[in-house]
Amino acid sequence: MKVTEHINNANGKTQFSFEILPPLKGQNVQSIFDNIDPLMEFKPPFIDVTYHREEYVYQEQENGLLKKKVVKKRPGTVGICAAIQNKYHLDAIPHILCGGFTKEDTENFLIDLDFLGINNVMALRGDAVKTETYFRPEKEGHNYASDLVSQISELNKGTYLDEELLNTSATNFCVGVAAYPEKHMEAPSLDSDIKFLKKKIINGAEYIVTQMFFDNKKYFDFVQKCRKEGITVPIIPGLKPIATKKQLNLIPHRFHVDLPEELILEVVKCKDNDQVKKLGIEWCIQQSRELQKAGIPVLHYYSMGKSDNIKAIASQVF
Ligand SMILES: Cc1cc2nc3c(=O)[nH]c(=O)nc-3n(C[C@H](O)[C@H](O)[C@H](O)COP(=O)(O)OP(=O)(O)OC[C@H]3O[C@@H](n4cnc5c(N)ncnc54)[C@H](O)[C@@H]3O)c2cc1C
């Protein structure tokens, strides 16, 4: 089923969903199931699986010169989605990127998803590769997520890259896109970022998932701005419980979001990470309850491969 159908069928009840990462290369799929199993009692209608593009690693050789090696640390997004759909009979949503994909790669990836009975896809640009400052698309790839959304919409009409193909079968993807209540790091302003978010919707995206935020006001203000701009699709909030002291610096650095002063002061007071974890769970429960009370259709949790704190939150909220 499509995400939009899950939302429509819920009759206003707030639903639980979460995101997982494929395991590091070398680990098996059981590690994923072990994290999903404890969360199944909260009946997620869908689970997102992130996509991780290749990275460049530079290894020093005996002669002192550096050798560039291309590594993909977390392959398996499509395989895990298929395994999840098979095992749990719910919708798995693969993420797909512009980065590292030519249009041809994108089309072939989408054909695989279609054959597997995967009806939803989260379309993203992806970040610059770690050793570069700016995002660089493939030669025959897309610059922005809005262009990727257009390609998926074309395939949904049965239009493939090779215009000579006859009697083509149309796909039926429901497309989600990302948004940033605190602005995407490269956007010159929030207004400009929302303008481009609207382009993704015009090009065919049917729902939005936000970057994590720790102050609900940021989300509510953002939704209001989007509605004013004529964006009417569901805007699903992304939530992450803070779990370690280190994250006070890591989260703003990695995700370009602010932490509320009150939360920072409480984390600083914690004696160890066990206390931080408890505090993070409590903070996220409060955020979740307020969002639920406001009638938000789905709360989406960034599990980062660990289910215990998400289970602690869900058991108090759902
Ligand atoms: C919910 C969610 C899930 C994610 N999952 C993954 C994942 O699985 N794998 C991964 O690698 N990354 C993931 N990311 C991170 C994401 O790839 C990065 O944040 C990336 O830098 C931007 O992706 P986007 O799809 O938002 O890009 P876009 O929508 O293309 O926007 C990127 C930037 O360009 C600007 N822009 C957009 N269109 C135009 C235009 N036409 N002209 C000029 N400027 C424009 C925007 O304002 C923005 O600043 C995720 C992020 C979120 C919020």
pLDDT tens, residue by residue, 197-244: 999 999 999 999 999 999 999 999 999 999 999 999 999 999 999 999
pLDDT for res 56: 85
Determine phi and psi for 299, rounding to 5 degrees. Answer: -110, 130
Q: How far apart (Å, rounded) are the C-alpha atoms in residues 223 and 217?
A: 10
pLDDT band at 304 (very low <50, low <70, confident <90, very high): confident
Least confident of 63-72, 150-159, 270-279: 63-72
Closest protein CA for atom 45 of ligand 1: 196
The DSSP string of 9-43 is HTTT--EEEEEE-PPPTT--THHHHHHHGGGGGG-
* pLDDT higher than threshold 90 for residue 131: no
CB 270 within 8 Å of CB 276: yes
CA of 95 to the centre of ligand 1 (A): 12
**Which of 106, 144, 152 has most ligand 1 atoms within 8 Å of CB, for mutation?**
144
Closest protein CA for atom 42 of ligand 1: 196
Residues with CB under 6 Å of ligand 1 are 50-51, 95, 97, 124-127, 144-146, 178, 184, 186-187, 192-193, 196, 200, 209, 211, 238
**Cα distances (Å, whole numbers) of residue 58 to 29, 66, 131, 134:** 29, 6, 10, 19
- Residue whose pair of structure tokens reads 């936000």 in the numeric block: 210
- Residue whose pair of structure tokens reads 């007071």 in the numeric block: 269
**Which of 151, 184, 189, 212 has most ligand 1 atoms within 8 Å of CB, for mutation?**
184
Closest protein CA for atom 16 of ligand 1: 126
Cα 156 off chain centre by: 22
Cα 129 off chain centre by: 18
pLDDT over 90 percentage in the chain: 92
pLDDT over 70 percentage in the chain: 100
pLDDT band at 111 (very low <50, low <70, confident <90, very high): very high
Least confident of 130-134, 160-164, 205-209, 239-243: 130-134
CA of 74 to the centre of ligand 1 (A): 19
